[in-house]
Amino acid sequence: MNKIAFITGASAGIGEATAKLLAENGYNLILAARRKEKLEQLKSEIEKNTDAKVYCLNFDIQKRKDIEKAIKNLPEKWQQINILINNAGLGLSFDPVFAAEIEDWETMMDTNVKGLMSITHSLLPHLMNTQDAHIVNIGSTASKQVKKGSSVYSATKFAVEAFTKGLRIDLLKYDIRVTQINPGIVETEFALVKSKGNKTEADSAYKDYTPLKPIDVAEAILFAIERPKHVNINDILLTSVVEADMNNMINKIVE
Amino acid sequence: MENKIALITGATSGIGKATAYKLAKEGYNLIITGRRVKILMELEVFIQKNYKVRCISLNFDIREPNELENSMHKLPKEWHEIELLINNAGLALGMESIHEGDLQQWNQMIDTNIKGLLHISKMILPGMVERKSGHIINISSIAGKEAYGNGAVYCGTKHAVEAITKGMRIDLLPHGIKVSSVSPGMVDTGFSTVRFSGNKEKAEAVYKGLTPLYAEDIADTIAWIASRPKHVNINDVLIMPTAQANASNTYKKI
Ligand SMILES: NC(=O)c1ccc[n+]([C@@H]2O[C@H](COP(=O)([O-])OP(=O)(O)OC[C@H]3O[C@@H](n4cnc5c(N)ncnc54)[C@H](OP(=O)(O)O)[C@@H]3O)[C@@H](O)[C@H]2O)c1
Ligand SMILES: NC(=O)c1ccc[n+]([C@@H]2O[C@H](COP(=O)([O-])OP(=O)(O)OC[C@H]3O[C@@H](n4cnc5c(N)ncnc54)[C@H](OP(=O)(O)O)[C@@H]3O)[C@@H](O)[C@H]2O)c1
């Protein structure tokens, strides 16, 4: 039987690219996000182009009760989840702390931290019941560093890193692998969300340099989950060649 | 030369040797280095015979500046354009509490893991900068992220490798050079035998009760890092046995 991978935030960006790549590599998929139409579109596209089976789940990851209900109602044959990819997340405010909206901070904390923890908590019983279980958390260069305006976004991604490390220690005896993938800047809807839907601002975000593409991150996820069973990739940090770290970037287009 | 050239330090054993095989398979021409000349010669012949690549060996102690430089200067011209440098030569010596450590062992670790790595990088980097192309992969360790008991100095050398890697990346990315590191947990190589000065029993006890990493796992990771698209730089891969969560938490079934 094919392995089942559960991907949060599959309606765009890194999650969407990962869904497609995993489908091509023989995984069946549970795709979760708020935007139902986008998920359904992706489901038909994947089922048309590959042999993978796809099941869609609709919930706001900020709402713990909704997550629990969705997981509880999973059809029997979708319960043997092998891989959980905790990807849903966002950066809303990159204003200095004194100018930021507190609501933006809360949305980031509720999505990136509490959402990720809730869904992991809900799915752990399934994962602990499955062979070869693997949890992949999407961190960021912001899990390692802070830059101007990133205090709260970095705080959420530092929290993800602490959670990843703790999960790994607690699950050591249960043979569950835990990995964190940390990308630098990736060209996704992240910029559009960050600018609160300002298309002009979002479109110009990547015009002076070459960022990572979602597929580059998906490839790193695939590399981690396809290692032999005795190998755990704890952490991959990857950036575009224009970005040495969060505070050292150059403007350059790489052909 | 048509194929890309990779230089691997410490290719006579463990991770370096497995990486030599893997990169040969991927079509790199290889410069292999180490102190044990007999193993180097055998490896050179073996690789040329079994893979469709060229291989040349350089025999030097990476702690000896003159040996290293003379050796590098003897490199035939067609081998000068090194595209991939794998800084792998390194070792841990002893496992004593800091107040009981051996000064000579400390110096050897520092001279090999830090100063040796820096020296060979300095020999090769100007060429990469001039050509605006190249990739350095430093072999760090979980010991570069966390300190563990009775390993302060080894961990210190690997923390240095970590800082050097990050600094290199900032300095070199504007020149089109990628800088990466691989940070492994326990790998079953000659490492523990060297650490315990040839005491096989002590060395084997390290890996008892769990499946460690194998040198090939690291070689596969190095090859994956080297084969990413042009715009992608893998900064670091922290790779551990599934049975080892971090520097201090290991699950052994004994
Ligand atoms: N892009 C970058 O530069 C970058 C760099 C490092 C790390 N990351 C991380 O990578 C992950 C994916 O981001 P991306 O770049 O692919 O951004 P994206 O294109 O905006 O995708 C974000 C995904 O998360 C989902 N999501 C957001 N809020 C949600 C909520 N409350 N409930 C359920 N789903 C929610 C979105 O789906 P719906 O809107 O349909 O709900 C969407 O599928 C995030 O964790 C992000 O922090 C991104
Ligand atoms: N094994 C592990 O658990 C582990 C974990 C994390 C990181 N690492 C790192 O991985 C790297 C490779 O180690 P390994 O595990 O493959 O151990 P290994 O089997 O002992 O190989 C070490 C290599 O380094 C070379 N070397 C040592 N001192 C040298 C010197 N003074 N001059 C030139 N070459 C020298 C050795 O060659 P000669 O003896 O022929 O000179 C040998 O080829 C090291 O940097 C180590 O710190 C190992």
For chain B, the structural domain boundaries read: 5-239
Residue B250 token pair: 């290991």
Q: Average pLDDT of chain A?
A: 97
User: Is B211 in Cβ contact with A230 (below 8 Å)?
Assistant: yes
Does residue A87's CB lie within 6 angstroms of at least one atom of ligand 1?
yes
Ligand 1 atom nearest the C-alpha of A110 is 31
Mutate to test the pocket of ligand 1, among A71, A87, A210, A240 (most ligand atoms within 8 A of CB): A87
For chain A, the C-alpha Rg in angstroms (whole number) is 18
Chain B neighbors of A243, CB-CB under 8 A? 173
pLDDT for the residue numbered A255: 82
Ligand 2 atom nearest the C-alpha of B11 is 43
Q: CA–CA distance from A175 to each of A6, A133, B161 (Å)?
A: 19, 8, 30
Contact (Cβ atoms closer than 8 angstroms) between residue A166 and residue A137? no
CB contact set of B222 (below 8 Å; sequence gap of 6+) = B19, B22, B23, B86, B137, B182
Cα A101 to ligand 2 centre (Å)? 52
Residue A126 token pair: 């399934």
Residues of B known to be catalytic: 154
User: B247: distance to nearest CA of chain A, Å?
Assistant: 11
Residue A207 covered by a domain: yes
Selecting among A153, A174, A206, A209, the annotated active-site residue is A153
Closest chain B residue to A254, measured at CA: B231
pLDDT for the residue numbered A93: 84
For residue B254, pLDDT over 90 is answered with no
Domain that holds residue A83: 4-249
Distance CA B215, CA B152 (A): 24
Please, what CATH class does the domain formed by B5-239 belong to? alpha beta
Residue B62 token pair: 């990476």
Domain count within chain A: 1
Please give the average per-residue pLDDT across A80-88, as a whole number.
Answer: 97
User: Is B233 in Cβ contact with A240 (below 8 Å)?
Assistant: yes
Residues B172-230 pLDDT 10s: 999 999 999 999 999 999 999 999 999 999 999 999 999 999 999 999 999 999 999 99
Residues B71-93 pLDDT 10s: 999 999 999 999 999 999 999 99
User: Is A239 in Cβ contact with B233 (below 8 Å)?
Assistant: yes
User: Is B176 in Cβ contact with A241 (below 8 Å)?
Assistant: yes
Contact (Cβ atoms closer than 8 angstroms) between residue B213 and residue B239? yes
Residue A254 covered by a domain: no
For residue B2, pLDDT over 90 is answered with no
User: Is B249 in Cβ contact with A238 (below 8 Å)?
Assistant: no
For residue B1, pLDDT over 80 is answered with no
Contact (Cβ atoms closer than 8 angstroms) between residue B111 and residue B165? no
Distance CA B13, CA B22 (A): 14
| B174, B224, B231: residue with CB nearest A254 | B231
Interior CA angle at A221 toward A218 and A222, to 5°? 85
Instruction: Report the percent of chain B where pLDDT is more than 70.
Output: 100
Does residue A62's CB lie within 6 angstroms of at least one atom of ligand 1?
yes
Distance CA A148, CA A151 (A): 7
Please give the average per-residue pLDDT across A164-190, as a whole number.
Answer: 97
Distance CA A232, CA A168 (A): 10
Q: Average pLDDT of chain B?
A: 97
**Ligand 2 atom 44: the closest Cα is on which residue?**
B90
Distance CA A102, CA B156 (A): 41
CB contact set of B60 (below 8 Å; sequence gap of 6+) = B33, B35, B67, B68, B70, B71
Residues A192-207 pLDDT 10s: 999 999 999 998 999 9
Please give the average per-residue pLDDT across B86-109, as a whole number.
Answer: 98
User: B39: distance to nearest CA of chain A, Å?
Assistant: 29
For residue B67, pLDDT over 90 is answered with yes
Find how far residue A149's CA is from the centre of its chain: 22
Q: CA–CA distance from A44 to each of A7, A40, A51, A214 (Å)?
A: 16, 6, 11, 20
* CATH number, position A125: 3.40.50.720
Distance CA A72, CA A122 (A): 9
Residue A255 covered by a domain: no
Closest to B161 (Cα-Cα) out of B91, B57, B101: B91
- Work out the pLDDT band at A131, boundaries 50, 70, 90: confident
Chain A neighbors of B250, CB-CB under 8 A? 172
Cα A13 to ligand 1 centre (Å)? 7
Closest chain B residue to A169, measured at CA: B245
pLDDT for the residue numbered A208: 95
Distance CA A187, CA A211 (A): 6
A135-173 burial by CB neighbour count: b if 16+ within 10 A, else e?
bbbbbbbbbbebbebbbbbbbbbbbbbebbbebbeebbe
Interior CA angle at A123 toward A2 and A51, to 5°? 20
pLDDT for the residue numbered A223: 98
Cα B39 to ligand 1 centre (Å)? 51
User: Is B178 in Cβ contact with A232 (below 8 Å)?
Assistant: no
Q: Catalytic: A153?
A: yes
